[in-house]
Amino acid sequence: NTTGVTMVTNTPPEMLAAQIDAVFEDIPPVAVKIGMVSSAELITVIADRLTAHNAKNVVLDPVMVSTSGSRLIDEPAAEAIRTHLFPLATVVTPNIPETEYLTGLKIGSEADFAGAAVAMSQQRVRAVLFKAGHLDGETLTDYLFDDEKLIRHYRYGRINTLNTHGTGCSLSSAIASYLALEYPLA
């Protein structure tokens, strides 16, 4: 719900593979959004099935670290995301704690995103949208990099609300929806 996650249960890998196959064999999606996946085994299944079906417009929201800074997945799952899903993703949309975890860099201001883009590119990420919502300030800017090159920034005012749980998921879903409609990534 809008306040948090109350329980997580992994789907059996063979069930997940069957679900992905069923979708692609009936009405193949023109975009795919991947959110929280908590095990290396399931991440590998997703990558295998998306590759088998030649999935396009893959948006990866690497849900790895909560807003409070808690790790949500273990290191083998994080490594599976880097190894198997990064190369398939059209765009990756990490929040600041996830960016710091994935790059090993401290993100203290928007100026740090350029170095993070280089680090993500070295991990075979084609495009990355860095979300600035965890930074201080009343006006924030998200940055879209394509292979280390800044291609667009998005400036917005902070909305004063406590209902921020799920905003990254909504954003990445919206990006996938627009890619499905054949809009350019930017």
166 is an active site residue: yes
- Packing angle between helix 40-52 and helix 13-26, nearest 10 degrees? 20
169 is an active site residue: yes
115 is an active site residue: no
Closest CA to 175 of 19, 34, 20, 3: 34
Could you tell me which residues are beta bridge partners of residue 154?
Answer: 142
Phi/psi of residue 150, nearest 5 degrees: -65, 125
Residue from 103, 131, 149, 161 carrying the catalytic annotation: 131
Which residue in the block uniquely carries the two structure tokens 């690497």? Answer: 62
Residue from 33, 99, 103, 168 carrying the catalytic annotation: 168
Type of residue at 46: I
Residue from 35, 67, 141, 169 carrying the catalytic annotation: 169
103 is an active site residue: no
**What is the rounded CA–CA span in Å between residue 158 and residue 107?**
18
Residues with active-site annotation: 131, 164, 166-169
